[in-house]
Structure 1
Amino acid sequence: MNSSESLVVVEHDTCHECDLRVAIPPLQVNQKALCPRCGFLLAAKRRNALNRMLAFALTALIFLALSLPFHFISFKSSGLENEIKMLDSVTILISSGYGFLAVIEVITVLLIPMLVLISLMYVTLSLKLGRMPWQGREIMALIYRLLPWNMAEIFLVGTLVSLVKIISLADIHLGPSFFAFILFSISMTATLLHIDKRSFNQAFASCAAAANDNHSSAIITASVPHAPVQPSLSIQRTWALIITSILLYIPANILPIMNTRLLGQDDPSTIIGGVLLLWHHGSYPIAMVIFVASVMVPIIKILVLIWLNYSVQTGAFRYAKQRIRWYRLAEFVGRWSMIDIFVVIILASLVQLGNAMSIVPGSATFAFAAVVIVTMLAAMSFEPKLIYNDKVGYEPR
């Protein structure tokens, strides 16, 4: 072959959702590759993706660091005032006997975002310097697993909802850390939007080829291993998690999720009770947000997972496109139910004015947080490939 000929790159990938083997041509900037069977996004090429990802990740880390040392929110009522920083909520929850909520906040709002950003910066910087990052593929696999548990933007929305709940009872002041956290959430989202699995796999392959000084081949074939599908194990595990979430959902809605102590008297509130109270006070948008995220989303997600799991167990093959869309919706919206938990965390940390007024988490917070976590695990356990069980292993010629 003439050395002046351009290098031909032949790549195949396996669709994560329907298991179809797809030949992906070289992409131009701003082009995307979609699975021809289920429409799953296989790849997307963006201009200067590594540079932008590195810049956004560094910016996000800086704003995350700035959101910790300064005051986050201050609360003033009847001459009494309380001011908290981001980490104050953790110590308050632990000292009040709600360490479980403190662990959720630290892991999903601080540790996972920080780990994802630092890992991405290490991998992208190594690739920009033309070096194969140590355990690069394993680090990226870990990042992909952690991404669903990154809840920084959900915590921000939960904070805004909690402020709306108490703005009529007291004066609220937002500190520098609050605005730093907003900028962190924006930068974090921008970073994640530039992640593309195929681009990273290509960069790893290029580094490996350069390291081996393998320039003799004119054709390079990149392929992702075809993972076997194990229907019975996936279905049984998903059923177990669905049943667990149903059992947890009952106490999560019957028991109080929050208890307000005003002048020595307790006023417990369930999820539905809080929605009705917000509606009664005219906070219709916030009431709808809480109702959809905390009541409707868990119910819909459980029903969708029941339908999907039953359909693959019985070998149904109709309405595959509709089922894959419902699966994506259930997987996407499930974590947003954590808004109510973050609302309780913020209010329980901020409203601590002794006998005059204080808010403590109710027993339903444990059950509801478990519902969100278990339904997320159920969606992850479900194998969307089984929706196309009559076509698994098909590869176009």
Structure 2
Amino acid sequence: MRDYLSTLERFLVTYRYCKLNVSRMDESIKITTACQQVQCHECGYLVEVPPLVHRQRAQCPRCHYVITTYYQNMVQKLVAFSLAALVLMIAALSFNFLSFSANGQYHSINIFSSIESLADNDYMALAILQSAVILVLPLTILFCLLYLLIPVLFGKKPQHAATLLKVIFALRAWTMVEIFLVAVLVSLVKIMSMADIGIGLSFYAYALFAICMTYTLMYMDEHQMYLTTSCALPKVHKRHSPSHSIQATWALLLTSILLYVPANTLPIMHTDILGDDEPSTILGGVITLWKMGSYPIAAIIFIASIVVPVAKLCILCWLNFSVQAQFAGRKKTRMISYRFTEFIGRWSMIDVFVVAILVSLIQLGNIMSIYPGYAALAFCSVVILTMLAAISFDTKLIWSDQ
């Protein structure tokens, strides 16, 4: 009897020890141990999310929206990539970014001087926009992530987590780090035949920063982040009224269409060579690149600056009209079209960034200088307004009859 009691006592001690270790497990592992009822963000359908394994994702059975993707050790990966991105951004701001030399004249820039050049040319709106989407917003996301996740690593609950998560996921769509990097490469191809181009250490640091930022955004799953920080999952609320969403989307789309006309007819930049002003439109720049033999770059600019804005305007107009007329068919096709416009919308900013880089880099006085045109501001407004139109469009109206 005494041996039996001793064995039972050892079993209870072992059970308490195992239970204590399980309670101290990483929060990301706890996420997969119970089903969660989640409301689909795009159609409002209630979905039961089962336990997931590494890289497994849960989709809405009605609209096929990816509700969540589970990554093992998500917290550790996000902290590592966020810290690496911050270090690389500091390095990117500390050295020269690009240099330009022609006819004995030399000019170099860093990231800050690129923004200052736009402000000096009375384009303060573009300067503020560029500083926001390539510096301020990405850094805000990184600092918020570290503030939230470092306490989680030590088993503590971060304060103000719900508010900061809303800020992070609201800003995520407006970060354009990778787009700016592609614009730099396009700019180098455009001016490579004019003069000698030097690439500074900041360029390589910013390229690595863009990679780390991309991985950070990839692992930053909204559903998992709310569970990791022990916050209640946000509920998907309907708009105040369907007509409000439809009218707001129409207003943004019509304004975008009106601004698209001067964006393509007015010069997007002016090239001053020995006092001779050569204005260039978006389509004119594409034609020039094509004649120079830069076919891939010409194709990128043509698709990003002409095809994508027109396609996005047409698709959003069709979607908004379909919900206003209460069409019942092709729901999945309309959802795919909406996701396509939401994905490609930001990439139209390539041409605006190209102009900003050329303006800041090529400033050689009377020999050669480049200045922004009014079309740059108009085209930038088109991109922003179409992005806002996609946000204001209520995708749940597509499924309102179900």
With normalisation by structure 2, the TM-score equals: 0.90
Equivalent residue, structure 2, for 1:262: 273
- Equivalent position amino acid for 1:31 in 2: Q
CA distance in 1, matches of 2:64, 2:356: 38
- The question of whether the paired residues in 1 share the 8 Å contact of 2:359 and 2:372 is answered with yes
Partner of 1:251: 262
Within the candidate set 343, 347, 371, 2:382 is matched to: 371
For residues 224 and 144 of structure 1, what CA distance do their matches in structure 2 show?
Answer: 12
What is the CA distance between 1:223 and its match in structure 2? 5.9
Structure 1 residues 204, 20: closer, same or farther in 2, change over 3 A?
Answer: same
Count of equivalent residues: 375
Aligned to 1:29: 54
- Confirm or deny that 1:180 pairs with 2:205: yes
Distance in structure 1 (CA, Å) of the matches to 2:348 and 2:339: 16
Taking the aligned partners of 2:266 and 2:35, their CA distance within structure 1 comes to: 58
In 1, Cα distance between the equivalents of 2:364 and 2:236? Answer: 59
Among candidates 192, 214, 217, match of residue 189 of structure 1: 214
Offset from partner CA, 1:322-373 (integer Å, 9 cap, x none):
1000000101101100000000000000000000000000111110000000
**1:381-396 matched pairs, under 5 angstroms:** 381-391=392-402
Q: CA deviation at 1:201?
A: 2.1
Partners of 2:350 and 2:94 in 1: CA distance: 24
Work out whether 1:91 is the aligned partner of 2:116. yes
- Equivalent position amino acid for 2:129 in 1: I
Q: Percent identity?
A: 46
For residue 34 of structure 2, give the secondary structure of its aligned residue in structure 1.
Answer: strand
Structure 1 residue 224, shift from structure 2 partner: 4.5
Partner amino acid, structure 2, of 1:116:
I
Question: Which residue of structure 1 lines up, in the alignment, with residue 226 of structure 2?
Answer: 201
Aligned partner of 1:286 in structure 2 is 297
Tell me, yes or no, if structure 1 residue 146 matches structure 2 residue 171.
yes
For 2:392 and 2:190, the matched residues in 1 are separated by 36
> For residues 55-101 of structure 1, what are the alpha-carbon distances to aligned partners after superposition, in whole Å with 9 as ceiling and x for unaligned?
00100111011101100000011111101111011222212212111
Partners of 1:231 and 1:170 in 2: CA distance: 56
Q: Cα distance, 1:204 vs. partner?
A: 3.1
* Pairwise CA distance, 1:11: 1.2
8 Å CA contact retained: 1:54, 1:124: yes
Shift of 1:102: 0.9
The alpha-carbon distance between structure 1 residues 269 and 223, as it changes in their structure 2 partners (threshold 3 A), is closer
Aligned: 1:231 with 2:256: no
Contact 2:98 2:200 in 1 (8 A): yes
Residue identity opposite 1:381 in structure 2: S
- Consecutive unaligned residues of structure 1, counting only runs of 5 or more, are 209-221, 392-397
Cα distance, 1:115 vs. partner? 0.2
Cα distance in 1 for residues equivalent to 2:235 and 2:214: 30
Which amino acid is 2:253 matched to?
I
Pairing 1:168–2:179 present: no
Matched, 1:77 2:88: no
Secondary structure of residue in 2 paired with 1:132:
coil
How far did residue 202 of structure 1 move? 1.8
- Structure exhibiting the larger radius of gyration computed from Cα positions: 2
Deviation string, structure 1 residues 201-220 (Cα, Å, up to 9, x no partner): 22233xx7xxxxxxxxxxxx
Question: How do residues 295-334 of structure 1 correspond to structure 2 at under 5 angstroms?
Answer: 295-334=306-345
Rounded to whole Å, the distance in 2 between the matches of 1:228 and 1:131 is: 34
SS of structure 2 residue aligned to 1:353: coil
RMSD (Å) for aligned C-alpha atoms:
1.8
The 2-side partners of 1:204 and 1:51 are apart by 13
User: Contact 1:12–1:223 at 8 Å: present in 2 too?
Assistant: no
* Matched residue, 2:3: none
Conserved 8 A contact 1:11-1:223: no
Query: By how many angstroms is 1:30 displaced?
Result: 1.9
Worse-superposed segment, 42-51 or 195-204:
195-204
Distance in 2 (CA, whole Å) between partners of 1:17 and 1:226 is: 9
Q: Is the 8 A contact 1:317 1:389 kept in 2?
A: no
Q: Distance in 1 between matches of 2:38 and 2:204?
A: 41
Per the normalisation by structure 1, the TM-score is 0.92
> Which residue identity is paired with 1:278?
L
**Which of residues 266, 271, 276 is equivalent to 2:287?**
276
CA contact (8 A) 1:301 1:330 kept: yes
Larger relative CO (CA 8 A, sep 6+): 1 or 2?
Answer: 1
For each residue in 1:260-313, what CA deviation from the matched residue of structure 2 results, as whole angstroms up to 9, or x when unmatched? 000110000000000000001100000000000000110000000000000001
Hey, what does 1:20 align to over in structure 2?
Answer: 45
Query: Is 1:159 the equivalent of 2:167?
Result: no
> Mean alpha-carbon deviation: is it higher for 124-133 or for 20-29?
124-133
Q: Which amino acid aligns with 1:25?
A: P
Alignment match, 2:349: 338
1: CA distance, partners of 2:235 / 2:83: 33
Question: In structure 2, what is the equivalent of residue 64 of structure 1?
Answer: 89
Higher helix share: 2
- The CA distance in 2 between the partners of 1:12 and 1:182, in whole Å, is 40
- Residue identity in the other structure for 1:291: F
Cα distance in structure 2, aligned partners of 1:223 and 1:341:
37
Q: Does 1:43 align with 2:68?
A: yes
Moved over 2 A (4+): 3-10, 222-226
CA contact (8 A) 1:234 1:382 kept: yes
The aligned counterpart of 1:213 is none
Provide the C-alpha distance between the structure 2 equivalents of 1:314 and 1:233, rounded to a whole number of angstroms.
15
Deviation at 1:226, TM superposition (A): 4.4
Three-state SS of the structure 2 residue aligned to 1:375 is: helix
Per-residue CA shift, 1:101-145, capped at 9, x if unaligned? 111111000000000011011111122222221110110111111
> In structure 1, how many angstroms separate the alpha carbons of the residues matched to 2:55 and 2:380?
39
- 1:122 paired residue number: 147
Which ranges in structure 2 are unaligned for 5 or more consecutive residues?
A: 1-15, 23-29
1:350 aligns with 2:361: yes
